A and B are shown apart, each in its own frame.
Chain A
Amino acid sequence: MAIGAGILRVPKEAKKGEVVRVQMVITHPMSPPRKDPATGQEVPPHTLTKLELFYNNRLVSTVNMGAGISANPFMAIALKVDESGVVRIAYEDNKGGKWDRTAEIKVT
């Protein structure tokens, strides 16, 4: 497993119009810029910068973040579900890493 792997968790089923929670964990160091104590050299930051939440390919939310978020970030956002569909999160970091994950919700 490498940086960027994670878990996207939504309820499998929801009622039409229900507001559900989209929960996620992404493995990432979220390290701030710092000095290496051993060498004294500047170590550049390595953090996720942006995460977009889509539902059926419509952009629901955009999260911007930096090193203030804890390592291996957890996030939860609300999503109103009017129809069955696919939740997708797409996220990227400051070193050019880009990932995405999907999960399905069935409206009953």
Chain B
Amino acid sequence: MNRRKFLALSAMAVMGLTLAPTLQPAFGSTPRLEEELQKRLGVKLAQIKEVGEVKLTAPTIAESGANVPITVESDIPIDRVEHLWVFVDKNPIPWIADVKLTPMNGQVYFSTRIKMGETSNVRAILKLKDGSYVMATKEVKVTAGGCG
């Protein structure tokens, strides 16, 4: 019961913040990430809109940080998209990779396996032809597997 109430509240809070994303630094950002975003994209995380049309598939828990499979897909038509980036907030170097896309791709799709030093948000960011940025975020919990 309590939790439901909490959930309803947090959902509302989430929506409230999304409606006014520039009021404060985006939740969960790190100085390293902001630095990288500034260097490579020239924007702050708070300026990037999180949208449902970008889909980031990644495991909720990874048994090994050495190899975390991720897939970025989007319904946004390929001729409206220019570039794709993958970042991991808490990695020593948050930038993982970026892909220049063209209409010849037919579709926004990029799948790979990445390294994660610790539990962190993974972000897939698209630059659209109109100069705006959109993204998807997923937290991946890195845990320890095996005998030790």
Contacts and interface: CB of A to CB of B under 8 A. Distances in A.
Direct contact of A and B (CB under 8 A): yes
Contacts of A70: 66-68, 112-115
B95 A68 contact: yes
Interface stretch (A1-9, A36-44, A71-79): A71-79
Contacts of B102: 59-61
B68, B86, B99 — most chain A CB neighbours (10 Å):
B99
Contacts of A67: 93, 115
Contact of B99 (A30, A62, A73, A80): A62
B97 A60 contact: no
Interface string B64-84: 001111010000001000000
A19 interface: yes
B105 A63 contact: no
Given A59-B102, A60-B104, A71-B66, A66 B95 contact: yes
Contacts of B106: 19, 78-80
Interface residues of A, number: 27
A68 B91 contact: yes
B66 A63 contact: no
Contact of B110 (A19, A32, A73, A77): A77
A101 interface: no
A64 B98 contact: yes
A78 B112 CA distance: 12
Contacts of B58: none
A21 interface: yes
B110 A68 contact: no
A61 B113 contact: no
Contacts of B108: 78
Contact of A75 (B104, B105, B111): B111
Contact of B100 (A32, A61, A68, A73): A61
8 contacts: A30-B115, A32-B92, A68-B95, A70-B115, A73-B113, A75-B112, A77-B109, A80-B105
Interface of A: 19, 21, 30, 32, 55, 58-71, 73-80
